């Protein structure tokens, strides 16, 4: 029985944690979750809360809940920030003059906070981080920001959710059911009126991880996660813009994951989008601005991997609040 438990711990540590960080479909509208360099990129306090149910229909499938908020420091608002400034002539973010007359944001600091609860089978994880970024004005058209996120990760194992032939097996009693690790992430972000690009690394500390003290060979680790993303805004006409983008994710020793995305926005009021994740899923997305304060987005993933035999797809919903939005700026769907 002890050998069986050790095997199970190895399976959990190495296989399940190959995807140690939650997977998101709507990261293209909240890149801040993956890259701390976006801290304070807006004039307002950008608050988001979301829930994701992955692979519905599969018992013990991942469930993720998160809240995040970030804001710029200082008393001066970023009047010329491309993400929040409107052409004075029309007030329309889709106006071609918006990009032609764009002025980059002045240099400033930004901070924020994230909390993510992720559960997959018997394993639960809570990540809490504080973030900081400095936004450098490269020239009149582009900013470059660099950011860091520091916090803790609490990982727990629910042994009561596991089934054994011998309920009182000594190996179960020696299981490590709760452990807390320091966490650190870094990133850079380049942005202008139409272009954005970024690189980030999560879990760079590579902390050791094990659910049993029976055998040191069961030791795993929290592996670094690498993200590279970029996108470009295409103005189709005065009312419609299309934003194609991509992301490459890599965690050793798993193969790289590639996402291709396309969002089409209409007058900064409603948008539709689609995403393709290589060897995993197709996704459909939609969202709208309820008011200058509130926006709501939803996505559904159609599983294309072998899991489609047992999965009914994945659902994700995100609520956004634009707090202290004194200039009545709509959400950033006009850009990203």
CB 277 within 8 A of CB 258: yes
End-to-end CA separation in angstroms for the chain: 53
Q: How far apart are CA 154 and CA 127, in angstroms?
A: 7
Residue 139 has a pLDDT of: 92
Which residues face 109 on adjacent strands? 134
168-14-246 Cα angle (round to 5): 140
Q: Which of 275, 274, 280 is nearest to 254 (CA)?
A: 280
Where are the chain's structural domains? 2-334
Calculate the alpha carbon distances from 157 to 242, 266, 334 in Å: 44, 46, 42
Residue 191 has a pLDDT of: 93
Q: Which of 83, 41, 15, 140 is nearest to 268 (CA)?
A: 83
Q: pLDDT per position in the chain (336 positions), as tens? A: 444 444 444 444 443 445 678 888 888 888 999 999 999 998 788 999 999 998 877 777 889 999 999 999 876 655 444 454 444 444 444 455 556 667 788 899 999 999 999 998 888 999 999 999 999 999 988 999 999 999 999 988 877 767 666 666 665 666 777 889 999 999 999 998 889 999 999 999 888 777 766 655 556 778 899 999 999 988 888 788 899 999 999 988 888 899 999 999 887 678 899 999 888 888 999 998 887 788 899 999 888 877 767 777 889 999 999 887 665 555 443 444
The model carries a pTM of: 0.83
Calculate the alpha carbon distances from 16 to 70, 127, 234, 279, 294 in Å: 31, 17, 39, 18, 36
DSSP 217: G
Residue 334 has a pLDDT of: 40
Q: How far apart are CA 18 and CA 288, in angstroms?
A: 34
Q: Which of 230, 134, 149 is nearest to 186 (CA)?
A: 149
CB 313 within 8 A of CB 299: no
CB 142 within 8 A of CB 161: no
CB atoms within 10 A of CB 86: 17
> What CATH number belongs to 2-334?
2.40.160.40
163-168-172 Cα angle (round to 5): 65
Q: Which of 328, 333, 279 is nearest to 86 (CA)?
A: 328
């Amino acid at each position: 029985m002890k050998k069986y438990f050790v095997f199970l711990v190895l399976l959990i540590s190495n296989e399940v944690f190959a995807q140690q960080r939650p997977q998101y479909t709507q990261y293209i509208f909240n890149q801040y979750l993956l890259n701390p360099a976006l801290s304070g990129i807006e004039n307002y306090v950008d608050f988001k809360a979301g829930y994701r149910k992955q692979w519905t229909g599969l018992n013990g499938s991942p469930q993720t809940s998160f809240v995040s908020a970030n804001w710029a420091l200082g008393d001066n608002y970023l009047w010329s920030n491309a993400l929040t400034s409107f052409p004075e002539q029309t007030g329309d973010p889709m106006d071609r003059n918006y990009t032609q007359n764009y002025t980059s944001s002045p240099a400033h600091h930004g901070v924020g906070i994230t909390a993510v609860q992720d559960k997959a089978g018997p394993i639960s994880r809570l990540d809490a981080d504080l973030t900081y970024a400095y936004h450098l004005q490269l020239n009149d058209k582009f900013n470059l920001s660099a950011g860091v996120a520091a916090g803790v990760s609490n990982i727990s194992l629910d042994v009561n959710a596991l089934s054994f032939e011998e309920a009182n097996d000594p190996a179960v009693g020696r299981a490590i059911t709760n452990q807390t690790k320091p966490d650190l992430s870094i990133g850079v972000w380049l942005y202008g009126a139409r272009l954005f690009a970024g690189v980030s690394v999560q879990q760079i500390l590579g902390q050791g991880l094990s659910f049993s003290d029976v055998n040191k060979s069961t030791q795993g680790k929290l592996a670094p996660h690498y993200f590279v993303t970029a996108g470009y805004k295409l103005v189709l006409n005065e009312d419609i813009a299309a934003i194609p983008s991509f992301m490459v994710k890599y965690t050793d020793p798993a193969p790289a994951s590639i996402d291709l995305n396309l969002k089409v926005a209409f007058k900064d009021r409603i948008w539709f989008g689609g995403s393709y994740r290589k060897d995993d899923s197709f996704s459909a997305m939609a969202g709208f601005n309820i008011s200058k304060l509130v926006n709501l987005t939803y996505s559904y993933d159609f599983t294309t991997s072998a899991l489609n035999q047992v999965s009914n797809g994945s659902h994700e919903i995100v609520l956004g609040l634009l707090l202290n939005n004194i200039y009545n700026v709509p959400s950033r769907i006009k850009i990203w």
